[in-house]
Chains A and B, each alone.
Chain A
Amino acid sequence: MSGVEFWIVLGGMTLIAFALRYVPLVMLERFNLPPHLQQALRYVPAATLAGLVFPALLAPQGTWALSLENERLLAGLVALWVAWRFKHILLTLGVGMCTLWLLQWLGV
Chain B
Amino acid sequence: MALNALPTTPQAAFWRGVLASLPVATGIVPFGLITGIAGVKAGLGVLEVTLMSALVFAGAAQLVALQLIGAGASVFFVWLATLVVNLRYLMYSSALAKPLEALSTRMKLLAAFLMVDQNFALALNQYGVLGPRLTPWFYLGIGGVLWLGWVVCTYLGAWLGARLPEAWALDFAVPLCFLVLLVPAVQSRPSLGAALVGGLVSTALMGLPYRAGLFIGAVAGIWVGVWLEQRAAGGEGP
Residues in A lying within 8 Å of B, measured CB to CB: 1, 5-6, 8-10, 12-14, 16-18, 20-27, 30-33, 38-59, 62, 64, 72, 75-76, 79-80, 83-84, 87, 89-90, 92-93, 96-97, 100-101, 104
Q: A1-B44, A10-B56 are in contact. List 18 more A-B contacts (CB 8 A).
A: A12-B78, A13-B56, A13-B62, A13-B82, A16-B86, A33-B94, A44-B88, A46-B195, A48-B64, A48-B221, A50-B202, A53-B178, A55-B199, A62-B207, A72-B172, A83-B180, A89-B177, A93-B180
Within 8 A of A (CB), among B151-197: 168-170, 172-186, 190-192, 194-197
By size class, the interface of chain B is 35 or more
B10 vs chain A, min Cβ distance (A) = 19
Closest to B197 in A: A47
Per DSSP, are chain A's interface residues mostly helix, strand or loop, or mixed? helix
Report the bound CA distance from A38 to B197 in whole Å: 20
Chain B residue contacts of A6, Cβ below 8 A = 44, 48, 69
Cross-chain contact of B203 among A30, A54, A100 (Cβ < 8 A):
A54
Contact B172 A96 (CB under 8 A): yes
Contact B195 A5 (CB under 8 A): no
A60 and B83 alpha carbons, distance in the complex (Å): 26
CB B107 to nearest CB in A, in angstroms, measures 11
Do residues A93 and B173 form an inter-chain contact, with CB atoms below 8 A? yes
| A22:B93 contact, CB within 8 angstroms | yes
Is B115 among interface residues, defined by CB-CB distance under 8 A? Answer: yes
Q: Which residues of A contact B105 (CB under 8 A)?
A: 26
- B109 beta carbon closer than 8 Å to chain A: yes
* B198 close to A13 (CB less than 8 A): no
